[in-house]
Structure 1
Amino acid sequence: MGKVTEKAKPVALICGISGQDGAYLSKLLIEQGYRVVGTSRDAQMGHFENLDRVGIRDSVELASMATNDFRSVVQVLSRFEPQEIYHLAGQSSVGLSFEQPVETLESISLSTLNLLESIRFLGHPTRFYSAGSSECFGDTGGLPADESTPFKPRSPYAVAKAAAFWQVANYREAYGLHACSGILFNHESPLRPERFVTQKIVKSACRIAAGSQETLRLGNLDIHRDWGWAPDYVEAMFLMLQQNSPQDYVIATGETHALKDFVAGTFQALGLDWQDHVVSNPDLMRPSDLRLSRANPIKAHKNLNWQATKRMTDVILAMVAQAQLSLPMH
């Protein structure tokens, strides 16, 4: 049997390839035998350190595409004719969305619409995955959210993600597109930038353990989240697009912990007492924030045979181990 040529490989297009999920998903798809094309607003000038960090930089093709420009999207989709598109791009910070609501809505909602409309316009048999967010649920009163839980978004980011979710559902129902959303709860890894609170905690704790005299300043320590492991979650994305019927799925561990527990676990892993090094700063509180986030991922387990392999403590240990390796040597 002859070797599969580059031309014969299925093509997967990843929008947002430079981020945490984009890098892990690219690695997974390459291992599955795909030709992976990643898009960036400017592929010549983009930062792709995460692809280097997972060891696949030379195995990925890069193309420039502005997802807020319909013509740009159509041109790239025409050129590569992907069998699968994973839309992971867009402004990814809840906190930043309060400062940049217009950019957030455009980068998430308009880009999703342009991709869906381009797929419909071109008529290729393309399967589409859109990165949804647990932030769409808002406050569920402590009840675990599943696929039938109504959305009550509490931030510009969540509003944009909710709009994108309904666009996907509309194109699936109105035009028969094989399109679905993964409603992902928090998922972390060493590839997270430090503006995400988990990485901020881990990096700061590692520096303190190495002798830094800094104090870690955080916002509300009593928020509760479901924290999982990013490589697990990209596997769920892939599995969603392999199903015969496109459906939306909640992806989570099913376990919720306070941010205080994440902080305590991180410092404990380094032999420290977090209370000696951490303060809660009211200036870091958001205009509105979810107090409690809970998930029920049973549908993904039943339909996709997917479940999280790592829980919060495992995630902390993996992130701490990697952060320690990257500390500058004295």
Structure 2
Amino acid sequence: MNENNYPKLHNATWPGIVGKGPDSEPPISFDSMLEMTAAAEVDGVKFDGVDVGLLEPHVDINNMDEIKRLADKVSSFNLNIGTLVAPIWGGPAMGSKEERAQFIEQVRKSCIFGSKLREMGVRPHGVIRIDSASTPENWAVDPVNNTKLIAQTFREACDVAADYGEKLAAEGEICWGGMHSWKTMIDTLEAVDRPNIGFQADMSHTLLYLLGYNRPEDRILPKNFEWSDREALTEGLRTLTNALRPWTIDFHVAQNDGTVHGTGSHDKTGRHCQALDPNGKLDIAKDAGHWLRDKKGELTKAFKHICWDGCMFSNDVMQQQQTWNDILATMIKVRQLHGWYEPEKKPVVETVR
């Protein structure tokens, strides 16, 4: 029997909200997301925790009383909390002075949540996830100065996060300006120049970096690439991960069929497929190793948990318990191949006033 107990296995709660709403399907409640996560089980193994979007209607980030409610609620399902998503979309990172200030304020509130949850002992690891809240089209109007603006906003956000002992992870996704290709992502991170910022890799989104969606000049795989050419795909993944792995501090296990998808108000981005989708282009457990191991094949142990992000799954799919069992089984395979064992330590719980 495989005894690896790290990285911990988390499920994301925000797919109950993202891509839902009046112009799509209704949101799925926070309680329902927790119930389905906690109910998943494969050969006695269960999810260890959840990554949480600090988004309404699940969480009201403006109400600090929500912190204890959130801790108590998640703990009641015998789950921990990991990475938190900061709701920064009201003000683009390359927007006006006022918009950028709003962005930073949302990061500050998220960091308060994060630090208090750590003090409560329910959040042993994880970062604060951000993006540019800007489109590739708007970024492309003035790439140089817009990258400078994003970097300035991220720097100020990093300084705020440092006050709370938090790290920020910028999600690489083709729909976010300045991080819509692997090269623009690196340019942005290098321009920020802060020790507490890194990259959040999602296997679905980063697959489309290989194809140059929204920035063809940065594609890695050739035009008219045949997905049956596994050797070329593997080499492309090596190129991509060698460039971004040194920055990676948060990681989403995912599948993608090589297409883009959007629902509700969410822009088209890498399609998140079910774990066992026959059209999926990734060998999930094997390809996760490109992110979890260095060039020499050694484990990086750069993060203590990995998360599944089922964004824009239909409600019908999400409300089937088998969906989450299949996801959990896939994540267990990732840990069997690329995990490690550490003696468990009881968290130090401090009194939070």
TM-score, normalised by the number of residues in structure 1: 0.38
Q: Point out the structure with the larger helix share.
A: 1
The higher relative CO (CA closer than 8 Å, separation ≥ 6) is in 2
Larger CA Rg, structure 1 vs 2: 1
